[in-house]
Amino acid sequence: MFLTKVDLMAYGLPRRESDLSDRGFALLKQQHDTWPLLQKGASTLGMVVVREIEFDGFSMKLQFNPGRIVSSSAKVDAKSIAERKCFLCLENLPTEQKGVIAGDDTLNESENDVTDASNYVVLVNPFPIFPEHFTIPHQSHVPQRIADSIGTMLDITRDMGSRYTLFYNGPRCGASAPDHLHFQAGDRGFMTIDSTWEQLVQKHGKWIRETSDIRIAKVDDGLRRFVVIESSVRDEALKSFNKLYRKFESLNWQIHPNEPDIEEPMLNILCSFEQSKWRLIIFLRKKHRPTQFFAEGDDKILFSPASVDFGGVCITPVEKDFNSITREDLTDMFNQLSVDPKYLHAVADELI
């Protein structure tokens, strides 16, 4: 199922030195040519409708995308997960689905190692949000956890960053396969926050640390509470993320007093690599889905936000919701999911 660089040359992979973004783009073309499910998903994407809602100095996009209804409504309770085949395990992939290995052309023999990019496989997502949308699962069925895999996320982002932003949905933060470690990637610049994050820092946050190697900001824009870590030094970015993670984890007992065994702190993470710098945007959450998701009748809104939604493109698979959601609805739903400001400040203080 793995395509090599030689295989991908027939789909435009340059003979010169190429990176993982080049191989991913060639894989996308190969899959569009040979996989009917992706062809159908891509045609659905061509019919999406978008509108914008303005906030204080920034906007959020609503995308009506009926092709995402399975993901948005996915049951992710332990019983439902145990009863289904994992759709990210390599042995369960459709015959037509091909992939490229994120590291070298050979999978790492240490199957459970989450720190090596050669244990991850780049696949095209057949139910896309982005024009170019990839899922990047680990080769083994290991749980969705970021603590030990954040370094690998930085490495893969460096290799795909010329075209794509990577993102991570925590096990209770929009991951429809919370039992299988994976990242996703999509077109850089697609999410509104890709181009507005510095404006958000200036208007709704502040830089809390600035050195020659790293700068860190905290932001509360009235909907989302997040931290930005930007660094040209991998180990500096990694060290700061680990500090954030440990501090946020230590607050779990306050944020989730009735869930002492929650899998990991609730995070959505965007990761990009531009001008030789990594940028992590880390959204801090307290809840999986808003109350409107579980309502009945006209009060129900099928909105289950994950990284892309927090990044400024809110996916609505139901047309009624797309047409009716207001600025007040989005403000209410994001505030239900985002941590209280005091926790943002507590986490940020650890990073100064």
Segments making up each domain of the chain, as ranges: 5-197+221-349
In this predicted structure, the answer to whether residue 177 has a pLDDT above a threshold of 70 is: yes
**Three-state secondary-structure class, residue 188:** coil
Edge-first strand listing for the sheet containing 121-124: 99-101, 121-124, 133-137, 182-187, 164-169, 267-274, 277-284, 225-231, 214-220, 205-210
Beta pairing, strands 267-274 & 225-231: unpaired
Residue with tokens 């009506």: 64
pLDDT of residue 176: 87
Burial (CB count <10 Å: 0-12, 13-18, 19+), residue 340:
middle
| pLDDT tens by residue, 254-290 | 999 988 778 899 999 999 999 999 999 999 999 999 9
DSSP string computed for 249-301: HHTHHHH-TT-TT-SS--EEEEEEEETTEEEEEEEEBS-SS-GGGG--GGG--
The answer to whether 312 and 61 have CB atoms below 8 angstroms apart is yes
pLDDT of residue 105: 67
CATH architecture of the domain with range 5-197+221-349? 2-Layer Sandwich (3.30)
- Distance (Å, whole) CA 123 – CA 104: 15
| pLDDT tens by residue, 341-351 | 999 999 999 99
Q: What is the pTM of this model?
A: 0.96
| pLDDT tens by residue, 153-170 | 999 999 999 999 999 999
- The proportion of the chain whose per-residue pLDDT surpasses 90, expressed as a percent, equals 86
- Distance (Å, whole) CA 225 – CA 245: 15
| pLDDT tens by residue, 186-220 | 999 999 999 999 999 999 999 999 999 999 999 99
**Three-state secondary-structure class, residue 22:** helix
| pLDDT tens by residue, 100-131 | 999 876 776 677 899 999 999 999 999 999 99
CA angle 330, 347, 221 (to 5 degrees): 25
